[in-house]
Amino acid sequence: MLIVQKYGGTSVGSSERIKAVAQRIAETRDAGHRVAVVVSAMSGETDRLLGLAGQVTDRPDAQASDLLVSTGEQVTVALLSMALKDMGYPTQPLLGHQVEITTDSAFGRARIQRIATDRLTSALNDGAIVVVAGFQGVDADDNITTLGRGGSDTSAVAIAAVTCADVCEIYTDVDGVYTADPRICPRARKMQRISYDEMLELASLGAKVLQIRSVEFAKRHHVAVHVRSSFAPDTGTFLVEEEPSMEDVIVSGVTSDLNQAKITLLRVPDRPGLAAKLFGPIADDNIVVDMIIQNASAEGSTDLTFTVPQDDVQKALSRVAHIAEEIQAGGVTSDTQVAKVSIVGLGMRSHAGVASRMFQVLAREGINIQMISTSEIKISIVIEAKYRELAVRVLHDEFIAPAQ
């Protein structure tokens, strides 16, 4: 088999960990497999480098910033390669530009456009363990780019796709994908498998196991992904193609996100074009608006509420304040003490009444629902932040693991 293994920051966070990872790679090789490895920077390193940039300037140049943060992965590629060679294994270390992982030029959030396979496959065919720097690529002008935080996941899945690997193993510090955060919900359990679409929802709703783009990539290119722990030998969670039987399970996961803020424009005049006027500039600032609700207007005006990531709330508010004045809205309020709680499951497509069951469970606990949004396989609500953990637990009890 050809196996791509990706090791995240904590898995390569110290020289001891790097030696342990080398041991694990060696075992895979000894079992007769070909192995390509993708590594992240040592844990904390990317943040440390960004911190340095922040000490030099308030507005680090995006191109230079990518040049800076990409060094974190260069360190781990080098150290891991040394460890493997020391153990007697032929090893080929490669940076993104040496592989030729070509991306667009959106520094800090570049997208992979093409990956050359010549160097990867010839090294693998020569029997070498290939060790590739995750997170980084190169644009058409030979500038180093990076793929956004957590981007090594996407590097690994993309390399698995172009090399037609049998599996892409993502080694991390948790042992798989859980039905809820085990720190909040003691009855949460590890899923054996999950469909790409469910994982996409969970990843975008705040479950931080995988970078969303890596899941999109895996889905598009049919890459079998295995999320597992580098600290333990057990099988983790497989991301797989959807199967009909998966619809029998109504809810596969409950997730929550505290990094949310709610902004409300009061008494927005009911005229065509105002939503465009509001959300255009917010999008131009790269602020991702998640939920939006607007009521039917009473007497020619209506309140409009939407959510943004909490880190972006000041930026969004300064935009919104201008626009509110311009369109003569009644005022702007914001609230950062909110959480988004979501249930996800393919079975929602074929089972009616899931939303009402969800709302009943919350009503029973006296939790007020401030906003609701749904998709085919997900229902999200916004509630007061202090009820987040309780909401996750009662929803998990209701849909996934009823108390005995």
Contacts with ligand ASP by CB under 6 A lie at: 8-9, 40-41, 46, 72, 134-135, 149-153
Nearest partner of 288 among 306, 309, 304, judged by Cα = 309
By a kind-dependent CB cut-off of 5 to 8 A, residue 135 interacts, out of Mg ion, ligand ASP, none, with ligand ASP
Minimum separation from the CB atom of position 8 to Mg ion (A): 5
At 112, the amino acid letter reads I
The region of 4-12, 116-124, 316-324, 342-350 touching Mg ion under the rule CB under 5 A is 4-12
Strand residue runs (E) in 111-270: 112-115, 129-133, 136-138, 144-146, 167-172, 193-195, 225-229, 237-240, 253-269
137 forms part of the interface with Mg ion (CB under 5 A): no
Nearer to ligand ASP, 46 or 91 (CB): 46
Distance CA 24, CA 285 (A): 44
Nearer to ligand ASP, 17 or 388 (CB): 17
Minimum separation from the CB atom of position 63 to ligand ASP (A): 17
The region of 5-13, 214-222, 245-253, 254-262 touching Mg ion under the rule CB under 5 A is 5-13
Nearer to ligand ASP, 40 or 252 (CB): 40
Which pair of structure tokens corresponds to residue 202?
A: 């969970």
Site string for Mg ion, 148-187 (x = CB under 5 A): --x-------------------------------------
Distances (CA, A) of 256 to 69, 184, 251, 290, 368: 29, 10, 14, 14, 16
By a kind-dependent CB cut-off of 5 to 8 A, residue 89 interacts, out of Mg ion, ligand ASP, none, with none
Minimum separation from the CB atom of position 101 to Mg ion (A): 18
Query: Rounded to the nearest 5°, which phi and psi values hold at 383?
Result: -135, 175
By a kind-dependent CB cut-off of 5 to 8 A, residue 7 interacts, out of Mg ion, ligand ASP, none, with none
Nearer to ligand ASP, 150 or 253 (CB): 150
8 forms part of the interface with Mg ion (CB under 5 A): yes
By a kind-dependent CB cut-off of 5 to 8 A, residue 41 interacts, out of ligand ASP, Mg ion, none, with ligand ASP
Q: What single string gives the DSSP state of each residue in 201-218? A: HHHHTT-TTS-HHHHHHH
72 forms part of the interface with Mg ion (CB under 5 A): no
Which pair of structure tokens corresponds to residue 160?
A: 């698995």
Distance CA 282, CA 278 (A): 7
Distances (CA, A) of 118 to 97, 99, 100, 242: 13, 8, 9, 32
Nearest partner of 19 among 87, 121, 107, 115, judged by Cα = 87
Kindly list the residues in this chain that would bind Mg ion in the complex (CB under 5 A): 8, 150
